[in-house]
Amino acid sequence: MKTAEEIKKLIALFYQGETSAEQEKELIEYFNQTDISEDLKNEQVILNTIFKKDLIKIPAELESRLIARIDHLEISSKPRIIAFQKRWIWTSLAASFTLLIGIYFLFNKNFSDQPSKNLSQTDIEKIQKAQEAIILISKKYNKGLGQLSHSQQTIAYSNQILKKSINNFNQQ
Amino acid sequence: MKTKITYIIALFLVNIGMLHAQEKLFNKLADNDNVSVVYISKALLNMIPEFESAGGTDIGQLSDKLEQIEIYTCEGDTKTINVMRSEMESLTKSKTYESLMTIKEKKQSVNFLGYKQNDKFKDLIMYVNEDQSCTIIRIKGSFTSSDIKKVVKPSTDKTK
């Protein structure tokens, strides 16, 4: 049985990758026992894990499956990037369009809110003249119609009186 | 049938000729230096509702139906005033325009002349004749008698 000092030397060689298969077998045997030096307990956990891992059987087709999976990832990653870029372009376009429409309506609202800002003083005066002209026409037109209505009433009243007079005359 | 068609065409041509004559009359007034003329286009008329603020009036409903307003004014120049009067008298005698009414108040007389198509006014002329001034207001478009009446509501109509 190897001493603790010898095992330490073997461990150092193992970590350097310079141990032979026989030396590694010695290390396995040493760490499989329970009665080992206290300062090698930590090394026991590490090396037992390493040695047990070597015992795990890897399926023969695992490598080919992994390679196939990696190839598939390489192929599908490109369209994903393009799809993402396309989506980004469309989002930017939609945002720009919305912004332009917003600006248009904002300015349009401002123009309609303040029509006088876009007109010259002459145009404003012309509009005022047009307003005055329309009001004057309407007033005079209504007045004329009022007088016409009054005249019609007067005529109707006169006709009534005339009819009465004729009736009275006929009765006599 | 042929006679009817000829009659319709002749009537149409006479009508066009008369309208052309009326336009010449207004152009003549516009060319007169003593007559001040204001033309208000459809574009400006469309802006009237935005400016409208006076209570009791509804100018917008009529201004929307107008194509143009022409205002001819002459003050103080008796010779020009007489020219305007005689031109309006000749227009009254024409068959194109129908004399609608005359309102006389003190020294002022107001005449309305209208050109109608299918019960709608296409051209309405208000001619205000005073001692030392003469004003002609011409509104063109497509509107009814009711549209003119509705501008000034009866409750607010405080005519001089």
Adjacent-strand bridge partners of B115: B123
Contact list in A for residue B51 (CB cut-off 8 A) is 115-116, 124, 127-128, 131
Rounded CA gap, B46 and B53, in Å?
A: 15
Contact B51 A116 (CB under 8 A): yes
Which structure tokens are listed for B10? 């002749």
Contact A137 B59 (CB under 8 A): no
DSSP codes, B101-149: EEEEETTEEEEEEEEEETTEEEEEEEEEE-SSEEEEEEEEEEE-HHHHH
pLDDT number for residue A117: 56
What is the domain extent for residue B61?
2-158
**Helix orientation angle between A41-55 and A21-32, rounded to the nearest 10 degrees:** 120
Q: How many CB atoms lie within 10 A of CB A37?
A: 14
Which structure tokens are listed for B111? 């005449």
Contact list in A for residue B44 (CB cut-off 8 A) is 123, 126-127, 130
- Cβ-proximal residues to A8 (8 Å cutoff; 6+ apart), any chain: A40
Rounded CA gap, B107 and B112, in Å?
A: 17
ipTM score: 0.78
Q: Is B40 on the interface with A (CB under 8 A)?
A: yes
Is the Cβ–Cβ distance between B29 and B125 less than 8 Å?
A: no
Is the Cβ–Cβ distance between A76 and A44 less than 8 Å?
A: no
pLDDT number for residue A71: 81
Residue from A119, A129, A134, A147 whose CB has the most chain B CBs within 10 Å, to mutate: A134
What predicted TM-score, i.e. pTM, was given to this entire model?
0.56
Continuous H helices in B60-113: 60-63, 78-93
pLDDT in tens, chain A (172 residues): 678 888 888 888 888 888 888 888 888 888 888 888 888 888 888 888 887 766 666 777 788 888 888 887 766 666 666 677 778 888 888 999 899 888 887 766 555 555 555 778 888 888 888 888 888 899 889 888 888 888 888 888 888 888 888 888 888 7
Pairing label, strands B133-143, B120-129: antiparallel
pLDDT number for residue B160: 43
Contact B69 A130 (CB under 8 A): yes
Rounded CA gap, A151 and A153, in Å?
A: 5
pLDDT number for residue B156: 47
Contact B157 A139 (CB under 8 A): yes
pLDDT number for residue A25: 86
Q: For the segment B147-158, what is each residue's pLDDT rounded down to a tens digit?
A: 998 888 655 444
Q: Is B30 on the interface with A (CB under 8 A)?
A: no
Among residues A54, A58, A66, the alpha carbon closest in space to that of A28 is found at A54
> What are the φ and ψ backbone dihedral angles of A170, each rounded to 5 degrees?
-65, -40
Rounded CA gap, B94 and A71, in Å?
A: 97
The whole-angstrom distance between B117's CA and the closest CA on chain A is 19
Sites in chain B below the pLDDT cut of 70: 1-2, 6-21, 50-56, 153-160
pLDDT number for residue B118: 87
Residue from A141, A143, A149, A151 whose CB has the most chain B CBs within 10 Å, to mutate: A141
How many folded domains does chain B comprise?
Answer: 1
Which structure tokens are listed for A130? 């047009």
